[in-house]
Amino acid sequence: MSERLRHLQRQQSLLREHLAWIDAEIARETTAAPPTGATTSIPTVLPPAESAAAPAPSPTTTPASAADADELLKRYADEERENPGAIRSGCFIVFGASLLLLIATVATVWLVYYR
């Protein structure tokens, strides 16, 4: 299975989990009785800062969703351990960045103190 396909499947499962959470929150809010005497308007458009923020996780999780989350974490942790290509490319990126930083430091010291 290709890396891209695994990544897309992971994103799909995360989106499904998020949609299930949203459905549960909607169901919880629709069954909750609104407070008496309180009238609040719901904004139709959120400001850009609020719309870009990630939704807060649900403070209460059901045992089924916790078990699903544990299963997903275990599955993706196993996949990451079996993917040495991503680890290798990350190491090369860190090595290259460190090498460039070292060269820049040596060049700066040479230009400032020895020239």
Q: Quick one: pLDDT band at residue 114, thresholds 50, 70, 90?
A: confident
Whether this prediction's pTM lies above 0.85 is answered by no
Three-state DSSP string of the chain = CCHHHHHHHHHHHHHHHHHHHHHHHHHHHHHCCCCCCCCCCCCCCCCHHHHHCCCCCCCCCCHHHHHHHHHHHHHHHHHHHCCHHHHHHHHHHHHHHHHHHHHHHHHHHHHHHCC
Residue 55 vs residue 66, higher pLDDT: 66
As a whole-number percent, the residues of the chain with pLDDT over 70 amount to 68
Owner of token pair 């680890």: 87
Residue with tokens 């891209």: 4
Flag whether pLDDT at 53 surpasses 60. Answer: no
Q: Which tokens belong to 1?
A: 């299975």
